Amino acid sequence: MNSNPAYKLSQLDLPLIKNLFDTIYEEFKKDDSHKVEIVRSYVLVLLLQIKRVVGNATELVQLKRYQEITANFEELILRETSKYKTIAEYADQLNITPIYLSECVKKATGVTAKKILSNYMTLRAKALLQQTTSSVAQIAYEMGFDEPTNFIKFFKNNEGITPAAFRKLP
């Protein structure tokens, strides 16, 4: 999500991909009962086209060490299925120091490792709030918070509203 891309689009592929993105966006803005199905179909076409382009790609972008560390850090976060770890624990998994991890992430993304982790946690919390009927307390425990109040405070600091208020949004 925050790392640099691993592939470059050629000048020949760029217009096609951009056109698909533009078409998806225009379709999304329409007030039509079939727009969801049409957008879904265009997204499938887009993904297949990108798969074709990436499959034919000959020019891989070589990541610098700090970019590679950042990408690996994000992969570790995405693998979490329950409680998130501390920055120090992620650094330990990457066999580097927490300070070096933070420096690499900051250099690659412009934000701190803690902020990246917080963003992923918030994204997961929002998904759980929107896609499940679990209580806020259940979600808090599922995400590894010791107390629901800590989760509520975390969510409010990151989103500006409580989880319950977020869930009520249209």
Instruction: Tell me the C-alpha distance between 57 and 131, whole Å.
Output: 36
Choices 1.10.10.10, 1.10.10.60, 1.25.40.10, 3.30.2310.20: CATH for 65-168: 1.10.10.60
> What residues are paired with 145 via a beta bridge?
none
Q: Output the pLDDT for position 137.
A: 95
144: phi > 0 → left, psi -120 to 50 → alpha, else beta; which? left
DSSP code for 169 = -
Q: Give the domain ranges of the chain.
A: 1-62, 65-168
The runs of H, that is alpha helices, within 3-162 are: 13-29, 35-55, 65-79, 87-93, 98-109, 113-131, 136-142, 148-159
pTM of the model: 0.69
In terms of C-beta density within 10 A (0-12 exposed, 13-18 middle, 19 or more buried), how is residue 129 classed? Answer: buried
The tens-digit pLDDT sequence of the chain (170 residues) is: 555 455 667 788 888 888 999 999 999 888 888 888 999 999 999 888 888 877 765 566 677 899 999 999 999 999 887 788 999 999 999 999 999 999 999 999 999 999 999 999 999 999 999 999 999 999 999 998 999 999 999 999 999 999 999 999 88
Tokens representing 141 are 């425990």
Q: Output the pLDDT for position 47.
A: 87
Instruction: Tell me the C-alpha distance between 52 and 71, whole Å.
Output: 23
C-alpha closest to that of 162 among 146, 144, 141, 140: 140
